[in-house]
Every structure is written in C-alpha cells, then in structure tokens.
A and B are shown apart, each in its own frame.
Chain A
Amino acid sequence: MSESSLAGGTQPTFSGTPWRERAEEALIPPVVALLVALICGDLLILSYGQSPAAVYRLLLEGTWGNAYGFGQVLYKATTLAFTGLAVSFGLRAGLFNIGGESQLAAGGFAAALTGLALPVGTPLVIALMLCMIAAGCAGGVVGAVPAYLKTRFGAHEVIVTIMLNFIVLALLNWFIAGHLHVPETLHTPEIHAGVLPRLSDISPTFHGSAANLALVVAVLVAGAVWFYLFRTRGGYDLRAVGLQPDAAEYGGISVGRVWMKALTLSGVIAGIGGINYVLGYKHYYEDGFASGAGFLGIAVALVGRNHPIGVLLAAFFFATLSQGGLAIHAFVPKQMMDVLQGVVIIAVATSVPEVRRVLRGARKRSDA
C-alpha cells in the first residue's frame, strides 16, 4: 500500500498481481491430496506383502508405459473429462449437478438413435454434428428439469438430480429391454453412421485401445467452457451468481435465469460425453454403459478445481488410476485403486478450505 503510493502515485499498474498466490492455491490441494494418496497406497501395498516400488512401476508400465495402456487411459479420460466439465460448469454457478450419470446415458442413447436413423454413408462430419446435437439435447433436457424445478419451486438441485438419475436410467432400460435391443443382449444394433475413427487408425502404436476422436471433442469442449466462463458476459454473470448471488442480483443479473442456463448447459456437456462410448468405442448404446463415470465426474471437477484445464488433468489422473488397477491386479486387488480414488477425493474436498486458511495465515504472519 505505502510502497505503491510512494512509487506510482495514482498511475495504474499491473505490478504485484498475485499470480503466484493463485497458482499456489490452485495447485497445492491436489498435490497434497496426491501425496496423501501415495502414502496410503504404500501402506496398502505393504499390507499385501508387496513392494510399493514394484507395484507402482507396474502401474506406470501398464498405463503410460505402453501404447495400448496409454490409449485406454485416454479413452477413459475422455468420458471423465465430459462429466467433470459438466459438474464444474454447474459448480461455477453454485449448483451441484449430481445427474451426470443419467445425462451421460441419455446423451449416449440419443447419439445411438441418431446414428441408427442416419443412412449408411453419411459423411462423418455431418453425422458427428447431428449425433452431438442429439446427445447434447438429451443431456440438456435431463439437466433442464431440475433447473426448472429449482427456479420455479425452489426444489434443491442435488435431490432432484439424484432422483432423476433413477428415473432416466430406468426409462432407458425399459426402452432398450422392451423395444430396441439386439436379442440376447441389452444393447441397440450397431449405428449406421457417425463411427468415430480410433487413434489406432491414425497411429498403429495405439493398436487395440479404444481411444478415439471424441478425445479431441472433449478438449475442444474444455476450450469452449473456458472461453465461455472467462471471456463472455454470460460467464461473468454465471461466476458472479456462483460466488455471491446477492451481489449478482444487485448487479442486475437474473439469478434464476443463470441457474436455468447453467444446469441445462451442464447437462448438455455431460450428454455429449455419450459419444465417446457410442460413436467411438462400441458403436451401439448398451444399458449401463455410464457405469459410474457420471458420479466420478464430481470428483474430477473437485480435484480439477473447477477449471477446464484442471478438469482435463484430473480426468487423465482418475483414468490412470482406473486403468492402473487392471495392470497391478496380479499383485494387489484392483479395488486398491478405488480406495486411492476415495482418498484423493476426501483429501481434496477437505483440504481446499484448510489449505486456503493455512496459506492466508502464513501470509499474514509474513506481512506482520
């Protein structure tokens, strides 16, 4: 304060922008969480009489160490990136979207129906666009229901999105089991158009892995989310509502309208995620394909600190854990990875405010 008034007078400057502080706040909780998880992992591995170093080496070799494993990590990360972005988008407006699971499934279902309806030989770009629009709309509708109920009747979005998961998943199950399935299975016939090329088609080193072009879509969506949140008026309004609804209202922002938009778009993002499995991997919709990816999106958003880049990194991390579980299964149960996942989530969820307080305290002391 006194320094700047001595030096600069009233001339505005950009100096002293606390980039470092912001980076500290953003990075320290996930890093601490990771360390805690590693220590827990060590103890678990030791309890099985194995060497932590050997198991971790195996984990790395099975995931990042070979092209197939790496491709599988990328494939799993793609879906998690979509659901993580969806949750973080809602959280930026102060809303907890727990409905990623059903929004993802609805999106995948709509993508499969579109792929089935299109004639064979539809150009990929057109087919992909149409499938994505259908998937986004389906997810968006599932997201709009709790948004409407919240703004109109004040129903809490957490309850509604959780309950809606059961309703939507049951409806989809009924559609598949009752009408659309290939006999003896619980999936639709293969789609006619919109099959996404796999990474192995481009580079043979990824041979056998399910990673596909949906990964590129996920990165593009992350970019779009970032641009919307930080570079548009809509994003300005949305973040203001999430941080301080009273100030947003004072600033002429319609809080209800922002909630509506945020939860619906959150559903759209999760819905588009359905293309990874349907267009990129199996080429049909199968009942229960989401298998928890929607819920894991909550953890991805938390660990990624609701920032699109952080979410991409967190998705990659959780995908590594999931794929790594398979690699180390010979030595320790793969469920160990679920334990580590839980440890990371708990550590991040609890450490965020804690770390902030500690940092603030330390800074105060150094000022004094």
Chain B
Amino acid sequence: MREAGGGRREEGGGKREAAGAEPVGIPGSSASRFPPPPSRLPPPAIRMTGIDKSFGAIRANRGASLEVLPGEIHALVGENGAGKSTLMRILGGLMKPDAGRVEINGRDVTGWSTNDAIAAGIGIVHQHFMLVPTLTVAENLVLGAEPKTSGVVLDYGRASEDVRKLSNETGLVIAPERLISDLSVGEAQRVEILKVLFRGAKILVLDEPTAVLSPPEVRELWTVLRRLRDNGATIVLITHRLDEVVELSDTITVMRAGQTVTRIKTSETTPAEIARAMVGREVSLSAGKRVEPITRAPAPRDQGLDVRNLYVTGSRGVRVVDDVSFSIQPGEILGIAGVEGNGQTELIEALAGLRPVSGGQIMIAGVDIARHSVAARHDAGLSHIPEDRHRRGLVLEYTVADNLILGNQKDFTKRGGLDRDHIMENAMREITTFDIRPPNPLLAARALSGGNQQKVVIAREMGRDFSVLLASQPTRGVDVGAIEFIHQQLLEARARAKAILLVSAELNEVLALSDRVAVMYRGKFAVVMPASQATEETLGEYMIGTKKGNAA
C-alpha cells in the first residue's frame, strides 16, 4: 500500500515537470528558488513560527506558530475567528504573513505563492467545494493539467484511468465518469481530497471537513485519512469539534485569539483540558460575583419568552437548530454555552427574524411571532444585541444619533419626515445614560472604539420599551471597563423583570450572569441546569459532546 501510494505521488511529480514545459504549467523554477534543507535530523513537515497577519484593525494572527511532524495527523483546533484559517491560507500561499517564518521540510518558504505551495506538495481541501458542477469527476481532477494526445486533444480515457487508479489506491471510491452535480456532499468531498492527491500533495490540510457530513460519511472519512497517513501523508485537520480531535489526531495545536496556546500529544491530554485551552480566557470579571437568585412571584407562563420545538434549516439542508424548546421568565437570564458553530448563531437569528424558521413556535406574551417580520417582533417587545455589531448592529457610516434610532425609526418620524429634534434629544439622553465616548451625537459610528460602538447598540436596544432581550456575544471585543458596564446593564434589565437570553463564548460570563445555563451541541440543547450547579468542568463535557444529558 505504502509503495503504491509513493509511486502514485512520484507519477504526480513527473506530471508536474511535464506541465512545467508547457506555458500554462507550474513554473519549474519554483523549486530552485528556495535553498535545500541542511542535512540534519528529519525536519518537521511544517514549521510556522511567529506568524503575524492583520486585516486593517483586526489581528488574525499574533505570533502564531505550528509544528507538524511528517506522517502524523495533526489537529488544529480553536473557536471561529481564532485564526486557524488565516494560518492555513498563509501555509497555502494564498496570503503573505506580515511577520514570521514558514518552513516546509526544513526549507524556508516564507511568502511563497500558491503555485510554489502546490509544487511542494501542499494540498488544501477547502470547506467550500471548488469543483465545476457541469464537469465529470475525472475532468475536474485533471483541470489545469489535462493529459493530451499529441499535445492537443484531451485524452479522456487516460484521465479516467488515472483517476480510477488513484481512487483504488486511496480507498476514495468514486466513478470518474459521474457529473459533480450528481454527487452527494460526502462524495463531492471525496473528489476534493482526490484532487489534491492527484496533484501530488504530500501534506494535506482539511478545513472543517465534517461540517457538512452525516455521521456515516464522517466515519468513512476517518478511515480514508488514517489510510493516507499510514501511506506516509501528513495531515492537518482544522476543526472545532473535540470529539473528532480526540478520535483521530496524533498531536493537537490549540489556537485562541490569533495565538497558539498549546501543542500537546493527544494521548497525553483530555477533552476537558483541550476545551479549557480553547474557550477559557483569563478575563477578570469584575461583575463576576454570582447573581443572587431572586424570589419572584410565579409569573404566568405566557410572559417572557417561550420557545417550543424550534427547527432551523441551514444552507445545505442540515438542521442547525434541531427541536429546541425552552422558556425564560421575566427577571431571568438563560445563558447558552457551547463551542461556537453548534447552532447558537442560527438560534438567535431565527428568534430575531433574520433567518427563516422551519418549524416550531416562538411565543412572546402569548403570541406566536415565529413568522413575524423583524419589525413586528420588535413591536412585540423583542430587543436584540446582535453578535456582529459591524455587520448587523450598526450602520457604520451613520452618525451615533442616527444609529440610536435604527429599528425604532417610526418612533422618530413626524408626517414621513425624520424628527431631527427628537432624534438629537434621544441621542443626548442615551449618550449621557450609557456614557458613550466621545459624547458627540454627530460623529460617525465608525469613528468610535469597539466598546463605545457596543454601548451604542446596547443603549438603543435597552433604552426602549422591551420585554425580551436577545444578547449575543454582548462583550465580544470590548475592553474590560465596558465589559463590566455591559454586565451591570444586563443585571439591571433582569431586575426590571425582563426575560434575557444570553449567548456568549465566554464560559465564565455565562456562569456569572445566568440563572440557568443551557449547553448547545450540534443544534440541540444538551443540558439545561441551574447556574448554581454548573461548573466549567461539567459544562465542558456537555460542550464537547462526551456527556449527553436530557435538556429540560
């Protein structure tokens, strides 16, 4: 098997050389541009050190590092936005790092191009498939390096034969004649993997390969990956699902907020430890004193928020919110914990009216708003602090004053015209109450710091008359002072008998503010428990799916 795999790859290399002679091929000079490795111990297959990469104000990588040994399956884990994908784009030559060093098999290749990366045997299987749906499997695989008879006519027979051979060697079974558009998601992914192998990849990077797969397809993929590793391939697996990591990988690198937190042998760690490294942040919560359970008169069930059997279907027909039911009483905070990407975003968007609900009810004050427009839900008493203030929460070019009426426009309209005096009056009041700095209502929201932008959103959503608040990542990317302020605001709203749903990636924030905590895992509530009984350890096990409880 090993020999066969090696032979295949050699053949791939030969094909590249042949292609290099043609005008469209990969430049033959790319290999000679980088100095050969000094002959010492076998160097790591990938070594990235001190990688910095910024996009404007956002620092996606801050001194990130990665070291992958040849012939291992290496899991790169971290939450959404931790910088995994950026690091892999740099590895694949799609981006150049601002600082740092990239070495492949001991060769310094910092700042190389995608063609260099492909020539050196790096193959990236993207999360979103890059296949031409109207072509066959074989045609997709040979795209860009088509075998030709006498240099002109596409030798389709040979292409098919090559693909069939590779398919048999690797166990990635697929008929070369089938059209991509006829394939299932799992089969399309197989073609993606075959494609990079066909180009002679020796180092495979798979970006969230299981996000779109069903459980049997996942198991099949694991078998294939293990076989590839045993044949000598090096595999980097990007994921944020810890069960997968533990099952498959040899070594784990954890990233958080653009930095590499730790690198450990899978056999020497536990899921709980990985989870802590992934989500645990050293934020000193000044509002961290646990809230006192308030004794309230038993409120009728139809007050607050009541969600029954909610289903939301994602882009690929996957159930991203799968039969979720819960209720929040007035004066209660329900916190949702969970590793990002388990349906929290979709749940909040469905509640807010920004994503269609495929089944179930959302009751506010006894009225089902599941099919209401955003504006109608707003009128029903729903306030929403969205997780992405730059995309959703603010119109960045609008002034602070104008942003403070977004969603409430009709309260600031007099006979179709905007009531400027009323808008300014409102802005002055909210700026003072919520201490928005600089206190200038005519400044564009873009000019404010992240914390103050978030205060504008919070001032708008909490300064109005509401009964239910959806607070999604309310303290993401704001400074410690603003975090404390936002926590106080949430607790005050709770004291004013508002029903609050809090989603946060910060486990200790959820624990400190909530009356009850739910854990979301793969679209379902894995467990709902009083916050007083929850600890990071117990929640952690539900978050990574090693423990499955019954959601109340």
Contact = CB atoms under 8 A, between A and B. Distances in A.
A3 to B, nearest CB: 8
A244 B428 CA distance: 25
B124 to A, nearest CB: 29
Interface string B370-384: 000111001000001
A8 interface: yes
A1 B417 contact: no
Interface stretch (A14-22, A99-107, A292-300): A14-22
A10 B439 contact: yes
A338 interface: no
A233 interface: yes
Interface stretch (B25-33, B402-410, B542-550): B402-410
B371 to A, nearest CB: 15
A8 B437 CA distance: 10
B409 A251 contact: yes
Count class of interface residues, chain A: 20 to 34
A240 interface: yes
Interface stretch (B141-149, B385-393, B514-522): B385-393
B443 interface: yes
A205 interface: no
A58 B216 CA distance: 81
Contacts of A10: 431-432, 435, 437, 439
A306 to B, nearest CB: 12
Interface string B391-431: 11111111000100011011011001110100000011001
B432 A250 contact: no
Given A233-B417, A246-B392, A247-B395, A14 B442 contact: yes
A251 B428 contact: no
A252 B413 contact: no
A251 B406 contact: yes
Contact of B378 (A1, A17, A236, A252): A252
A14 B354 contact: no
Interface in B23-52: none
B449 interface: yes
Contacts of A247: 391-395, 406
B373 A240 contact: no
A231 B443 CA distance: 18
A237 B374 CA distance: 14
B293 interface: no
Contacts of B391: 244, 246-247
A184 to B, nearest CB: 51
Contacts of B431: 10, 12
B314 interface: no
A237 B354 CA distance: 17
Interface in A245-274: 246-254
Nearest to A227: B417
A8 B428 CA distance: 13
Contacts of A253: 375, 409
A1 B438 CA distance: 6
A234 to B, nearest CB: 7
Closest CB pairs A-B (n = 6): A252-B375, A251-B406, A4-B438, A251-B407, A250-B392, A252-B374
Given A16-B438, A232-B413, A249-B354, 12 more contacts: A1-B438, A12-B441, A237-B409, A240-B395, A244-B396, A247-B392, A249-B392, A250-B352, A250-B374, A250-B384, A250-B392, A250-B393
27 contacts: A1-B438, A1-B449, A4-B438, A5-B438, A10-B439, A11-B432, A12-B439, A12-B440, A13-B440, A14-B440, A15-B440, A16-B438, A16-B440, A18-B444, A232-B413, A233-B413, A233-B416, A233-B417, A237-B409, A243-B397, A244-B395, A247-B394, A249-B354, A250-B354, A251-B374, A252-B375, A254-B375
Interface of A: 1, 4-5, 8-18, 231-237, 239-240, 243-244, 246-254
